[in-house]
Amino acid sequence: MTSKVRIGIIGCGGIANHKHIPSLAAVADKAEIVAFCDLVEAKATALRATAGYPDAAVYTDYRDLLANPDVDVVHICTPNVSHAPIAVDAFAAGKHVLCEKPMSHTAAEAQKMLHAWRASGKLFTVAYQNRFRPEVQTLHTSCAGGELGKIYYAKAEAIRRRQVPTWGVFPDKSQQGGGPLIDIGTHALDITLWCMGNYEVESVVGTVNYELGHLESAASGNYYGPWDTAAFEVEDSAFGFVKFTNGATVLVEASWALNYLDSREASTTLCGTEMGAEIRSGSSYPKDELILNGTRHGLLVEETLSDVSAVAYFEGRHEPPGVVEAKQWIDAIRNGTEPCVKPEEAFRVTQILDAIYQSAASGRQIFFES
352 sits in the region (left: phi over 0; alpha: psi -120 to 50; else beta) called alpha
The answer to whether the bond into 102 is cis (omega within 30° of 0) is: yes
- In tens, the pLDDT along 148-194 reads 999 999 999 999 999 999 999 999 999 999 999 999 999 999 999 99
Section 330-358 average pLDDT: 97
CA 38 – CA 65 distance, rounded (Å): 10
Please report the pLDDT score of residue 2 as a whole number. Answer: 60
Non-local (6+) Cβ contacts of 300 within 8 A are 293, 294
Domains and CATH numbers, the chain: 5-127 (3.40.50.720), 131-306+350-367 (3.30.360.10)
- For the segment 11-15, the average pLDDT, to the nearest whole number, is 96
pLDDT of residue 172: 93
Cα distance between residue 351 and residue 337, in whole Å: 26
User: Looking at the predicted structure, is the pLDDT value of residue 36 above 70?
Assistant: yes
Q: How confident is the model over 241-253, as a mean pLDDT?
A: 98
Q: Report the distance separating Cα 352 and Cα 362, nearest Å.
A: 15
Q: Report pLDDT for 318.
A: 75
Statement: residue 321 has pLDDT above 60: yes
Residue 304 has pLDDT above 80, yes or no: yes
Percent with pLDDT over 70 in the chain:
96
Do residues 333 and 34 touch, judged by C-beta distance below 8 A?
no
Q: What is the mean pLDDT of the chain?
A: 95
pLDDT band at 195 (very low <50, low <70, confident <90, very high): very high
Residue 250 scores a pLDDT above 70: yes
Percentage of the chain exceeding pLDDT 90: 94
- Residue 39's contacts (CB-CB under 8 Å, 6 or more residues apart) are 60
SS3 track for the chain: CCCCEEEEEECCCHHHHHHHHHHHHCCCCCEEEEEEECCCHHHHHHHHHHHCCCCCEEECCHHHHHCCCCCCEEEECCCHHHHHHHHHHHHHCCCEEEEECCCCCCHHHHHHHHHHHHHHCCCEEEECHHHHCHHHHHHHHHHHCCCCCCEEEEEEEEECCECCCCCCCCCCHHHHCCCHHHHHHHHHHHHHHHHHCCCCEEEEEEEEECCCCCCHHHHCCCCCCCCCHHHCCCCCEEEEEEEECCCCEEEEEEECECCCCCCEEEEEEEEECCCEEEEECCCCCCCCEEEEEEEECCEEEEEEECCCCCCCCCCCCCCCHHHHHHHHHHHHHHHCCCCCCCHHHHHHHHHHHHHHHHHHHHCCCEECCC
Give residue-wise pLDDT tens across range 225-245.
Answer: 999 999 999 999 999 999 999
What's the pLDDT tens digit per position in 95-118?
999 999 999 999 999 999 999 999
Give me the pLDDT at residue 13, please. Answer: 95
What pLDDT is recorded for position 307? 61
* 317 confidence band (pLDDT: 50, 70, 90): low
Residue 203: pLDDT over 50: yes
Question: In this model, does residue 316 exceed pLDDT 90?
Answer: no
Q: Does the pLDDT value for residue 4 go beyond 50? A: yes
Cβ neighbours of 198 (radius 10 Å): 21
What's the pLDDT at 314? 47
Mean of the pLDDT values across residues 38-56? 97
